[in-house]
Amino acid sequence: MDFSSVRAALDSKSYDKVADVCDNLMLQVAADGIAYQDDWPYAVHLLSHIYVHDINSARFLWKSIPSSIKESQPEVTAVWKIGQKLWLRDYAGVHEAIRAFDWTQELQALVASFAELYTKEMFQLLLSAYSTISIKDTALFLGMNEDDATNYLLQQGWTVDPASRMLIVKKQPVVTEQKLDPSKLQRLTEYVFHLEH
């Protein structure tokens, strides 16, 4: 079976495209009547859905994976543990599931990229949801120890209150850029003029 398109997407680090490539290839192979279950890169396919936040597709793929594959390929089960933690919104559990398995060479880069992306998303979540947060809670959200989490956030401009061990969030200034198109302004002026006369 030719997985060169999947390999090419992984090699080019186009991780956001891997799920579509796998889905299309699976449909093509199934339409051709080729037995693919034993050779299919389920771990890559499952993680690529998780990477693009398509947990529903990941769940349906998980349900379609033969139990013999789930039992014989522990990496597929390890990827699904990440999906389960996301489904349950167990933010710290996602990081634990990532660290709990010794990933194969094929998946290491994709897992590392997902972990980095997930950490950035958790940072944005903290930024938008909190004005102060404990160092302990922050470390859980970011999947780091308390010292690393504190250093990471200090680099982002946050401050620490050593007495309460709380981090004070540095809110990013909201930049609203108004683009005034002269032609739209002219049309609006003509419209208002027309209404008044």
Per residue in 47-67, pLDDT tens? 999 999 999 999 999 999 999
Domain count, the chain: 2
pLDDT at 167: 87
For residue 122, what are the β-bridge partners?
A: none
Give how far the C-alpha of residue 24 lies from the chain's centroid of Cα atoms, to the nearest Å: 21
Exposed/middle/buried for 42, CB within 10 Å: 0-12, 13-18, 19+? buried
Q: Does some domain include residue 145? A: yes
Same domain, 139 and 176: yes
Last residue of a domain, one of 113, 142, 169: 113
- CA-to-CA distance for 107 and 105, rounded, in angstroms? 6
Q: Does some domain include residue 125? A: no
Same domain, 54 and 151: no
Q: Are 130 and 171 in contact (CB under 8 A)?
A: no
Secondary structure of residue 61 in the 3-state scheme: helix
pLDDT at 121: 92
Same domain, 109 and 146: no
Same domain, 85 and 1: yes
Q: Does some domain include residue 21? A: yes
Same domain, 78 and 144: no
Mean pLDDT (10-residue bins), the chain, 197 residues: 82 89 88 81 93 93 91 94 93 92 92 93 89 90 90 90 86 66 80 79
Q: Does some domain include residue 35? A: yes
Same domain, 72 and 160: no
pLDDT at 172: 67
- The contacts of residue 33 (CB under 8 Å, 6+ apart) are none
pLDDT at 164: 87
Same domain, 4 and 52: yes
Q: Are 21 and 5 in contact (CB under 8 A)?
A: yes
Same domain, 136 and 94: no
Nearest CA to 95 out of 137, 140, 132 is that of 140
pLDDT at 95: 93
End-to-end CA distance of the chain: 73
Helices 4-11, 15-31: axis angle to 10 degrees equals: 180
Same domain, 153 and 100: no
Domain that holds residue 52: 1-113
Global pTM value: 0.78
Same domain, 82 and 107: yes
Exposed/middle/buried for 22, CB within 10 Å: 0-12, 13-18, 19+? buried
Last residue of a domain, one of 57, 80, 113: 113
Q: Does some domain include residue 180? A: yes
pLDDT at 30: 82
Same domain, 29 and 100: yes
Q: Give per-residue pLDDT as tens, 120-151.
A: 999 998 988 888 999 999 999 998 899 999 99
- CA-to-CA distance for 166 and 77, rounded, in angstroms? 37
Last residue of a domain, one of 45, 79, 113: 113
Same domain, 102 and 187: no
- CA-to-CA distance for 115 and 82, rounded, in angstroms? 10
Q: Does some domain include residue 124? A: no
